[in-house]
Structure 1
Amino acid sequence: MLVLTFRIGNYLYGLEAVSVVEVVPPTICKELPRSPKFVKGLFNYRGKVTPVVDLSMLATDRSCRPLMSTRIIIVDLADLDPEAGRGEKFLGLLAESITETLKVADKDFETSGLEIPDAPWLGKVARVNGVMLQLIRPDRLLTPELHKILFPHEEPSGVSG
């Protein structure tokens, strides 16, 4: 599989490239008062109001640093939510050090053996070039609670929790 890699703190993470619509430069987001700290806010992505989640803040309670390689990864929620139409609703994932894609065989990934209730979005791991790479599962990022915050006028029927 092709994996888009990025860093959270000192560690390497990735998303299956098939789930990525586009990678865009960071932009000013409209903040959402009283939302969780990891919700960066909203921005206009190709005419659609799009929420942005700061993956570093979500995982470590530290915001993404403003690096040249910090970007917003756009994920189409039609891939995550069967109720959403393709191209109708997006989610932005702010991450650091988005500089490459890697080809990793499916067989090289294995479960970590751990289930962390507060981080259901952590996926399988593989050793790549002597470094541990862990996949992020975007289908597990939108808990029912987060869906209600980001999309208050919709039911969270198709999202995982």
Structure 2
Amino acid sequence: MNTTIAINAYKKVGVESKVIGADPHQLISMLFHGALLSIDNAKNEILRKEVDAKGKSISKAIAIIGEGLHASLDNKAGGEVAQGLSSLYEYMVRRLVEANLKSDITILDEVTRLLTELTEAWDSIRPNSVQSAPLPTNSHLAYARA
């Protein structure tokens, strides 16, 4: 068996195990961290002039933000905050598309700053005892209000 294939299989099992055991708050945190990691990978790939890999990393970050974070918003429960986050996620996706087209690390740094602020805010509201808290809808805003 190829070592790379074995390592990738091990990583996949590790991520799947974390997802299965995660509560809703942890899942959103994992999405934030995954997007940040993908953007960081894209920066390194720009520096190494690995165009295909850069495109894949940025596409992964776009998917995490657009299909993960954005899709998890509960506009009904979140009100203005959800609307603001929705607009911010859409902005970040547009900036990532532009960064991909231009191979622009400055734009990636901008999105990294925005995501880092959101990640720190999200991680700071982690309930002390998630086990005793009722599980909310799939929205990270609804969970934050619980």
TM-score interval for Structure 1 and Structure 2 normalised by the shorter chain: under 0.3
Q: Which has the higher strand share?
A: 1
Q: Which entry has the higher C-alpha Rg, 1 or 2?
A: 2
Q: Which has the higher helix share?
A: 2
Which structure's relative contact order is higher, taking Cα pairs within 8 Å and 6+ residues apart? 2
The two structures have a TM-score, normalised by structure 2, of 0.25
